[in-house]
Every structure is written in C-alpha cells, then in structure tokens.
Amino acid sequence: MQNKPVIHIQNLWAGYGKDPILENIQLDIYPQDFVGLIGPNGGGKTTLIKVILGLLAPARGTVEIMGLPVEQGRRFVGYVPQFVEFDRAFPISVYEVVRMGLLNKRRLLNPFKPEDHQKIMDALEQVNLAGLAQQPIGELSGGQRQRAYIARALVSQPEILLLDEPTASVDSHTSTTVFELLRELNRRVTILLISHDISAISSYVKTIGCLNRRLAYHAQKQITADMLQSTYQCPVDLIAHGLPHRVLPSHNQEELIHD
C-alpha cells in the first residue's frame, strides 16, 4: 500500500447554515481501500460525500483528493447516488445512461469519439451488462439498474468510487450481487460507501467507520461496542437483515463485534 492517501480529510467541520453536521472529522483513505461508513439518519454520511464531491464547502478544515484541492481532485472520483428518479417509459438505453458519465469530461457540443464508445463498453463489461447495452433502462430489474449506474460512474475511469446506500432499493439477493461486484472492482478502484446495513457491509468491506457528526474510524474491520454506543446513542442488541436475527450479547469495552 502506498503511504500517500487518495483522500485526506483533516479537522473538517461542515453543515448547513450555522448548525454543524460534521464535527472535527479526521479521515485518510489509501489506494485500494474499501471503506464502509455506517451511522443513523442525519448523522452526516451524505454530507461527507457532498464535501468530498465539492458540492458543499467546509466551514473549516481541509479535504484533498489525490493530493489536490477538491475542485481539482474530484475529477478522479466516480459517484453513485442513493436514488435515481426517472420515468421508466422514457426511451433511453443502458448505453446512453452510461454515456452520461462522460459528459463532465468533454466540452459542450463536442461529438463523442470512437474511444468514448470503447470506454462505455468497457464499463458495461465490468458490471456484466454489455449484452444489455441497447436495452431500455426502464426494462431492467432493480439490481441491473444499480449496476448500470455503477457503470456510469466507472466510465470516466475514476481512481475512487463513492457510493451512497448502493443497495437501499434492492432485495437481499440483489444486495449480495452488488457487493460481490464492488469487491471485484476494488481490485482496481478505491471504494468508499455509506450504508445502514451493518451486517451486509461487514461481510465485504475492508474497514468500517461509524459516523454520527463525529467519526470513529481506526482503519480496521472491527466495531467496538463503544463505537456503536457513541454513534447510535443507544445499546445495539439486535441486527436483522432479512435473515434469522443475530442477537449481540453484552460486551465489555475491550470486546469486539465481528460479522
């Protein structure tokens, strides 16, 4: 692993108006990391992604991507949002959806080039959708659409992939398929995702952090009882994920919760 982080966040405070949503965030993400962030609604997970994408300016602190300010470094980032609203009857193909990922890389009205076509097909190959390139996006299953949106993020050939609740709108089987895809992509791309699904992400990510205004992250896959207590502000005794419930017994401070 290289010593230089691809995302470097130091003393970050951010929010909307006078109220901070993020407080004193410290985070370094390194090449080929696969980081999962969990936390309650309103805890700042999406706000953190907005700051990394340059959509929200920090109140204080610094954020660097690939050693550059966000305004320059975000070109190395691909982003998959939580929800993508669209009219299923609108006549747009999977190929055209993925091609949208190249729009920020080109000047207005410039025609697409043959190499752009190859990038689109390569991205579709990576998510196993090349055979559905001309299929209307509205005819795809939920899991297939999510893979198409991942391909849209990949077509610009990013160094880093950010995902906001990538399995929020799919069933448990499709969720597993998406996470398996992300694990394969992680061989080439650094990944940061946020999710409410503790049991699912703990099976696939390399490290886990807990975010509720403040971030508890130690570059490990282990979650201590104290981390969960401070993040969710209540004891966490039960985790359910469409599977038989797993009851987590009481833990001492030194004991760790593993998947």
| Digitized pLDDT (tens) for each residue of the chain, 259 residues in all | 457 999 999 999 999 988 899 999 999 999 999 999 998 888 999 999 999 999 999 999 999 999 999 999 999 999 998 766 666 677 899 999 999 999 876 555 567 788 999 999 999 999 999 999 999 999 998 889 889 999 999 999 999 999 998 887 777 788 888 899 999 999 999 999 998 777 777 788 999 999 999 999 988 876 666 666 666 654 444 343 333 333 333 333 333 333 3
Q: Is residue 154 in a domain?
A: yes
| Whether 212 contacts 230, CB under 8 Å | yes
C-beta of residue 225 within 8 angstroms of C-beta of residue 189: no
Q: What is the pLDDT of residue 231?
A: 62
Which domain CATH number covers 136? 3.40.50.300
The answer to whether residue 2 is domain-embedded is: no
CA distance 103 to 180: 28
Quickly tell me which residue has 């609740």 as its tokens. 165
Residue 246 lies in a domain: yes
What range defines the domain where residue 90 resides? Answer: 7-257
Total domains, the chain: 1
Residue 156 resides in a domain: yes
Residue 252: predicted pLDDT: 38
pLDDT computed for residue 202 by the predictor: 77
String of DSSP letters for the chain: --SS-SEEEEEEEEEETTEEEEEEEEEEE-TT-EEEEE--TTSSHHHHHHHHHTSS--SEEEEEETTEEHHHHGGGEEEE-S-----TTS--BHHHHHHGGGGGGS-TTPPP-HHHHHHHHHHHHHTT-GGGTTSBGGGS-HHHHHHHHHHHHHTT--SEEEEESTTTTS-HHHHHHHHHHHHHHTTTSEEEEE-S-HHHHTTT-SEEEEEESEEEE-SSS-EEHHHHHHHHSS---EE-SSSS-EEPPP--TT-EE--
Say what the pLDDT of residue 246 is.
35
Query: pTM here?
Result: 0.82
- The verdict on residue 31 lying in a domain is yes
Q: Is residue 228 part of a domain?
A: yes
The pLDDT value recorded for residue 87 is 67
Q: Is residue 33 part of a domain?
A: yes
pLDDT (0 to 100) of residue 241: 37
| Any domain includes 1 | no
pLDDT value for 258: 36
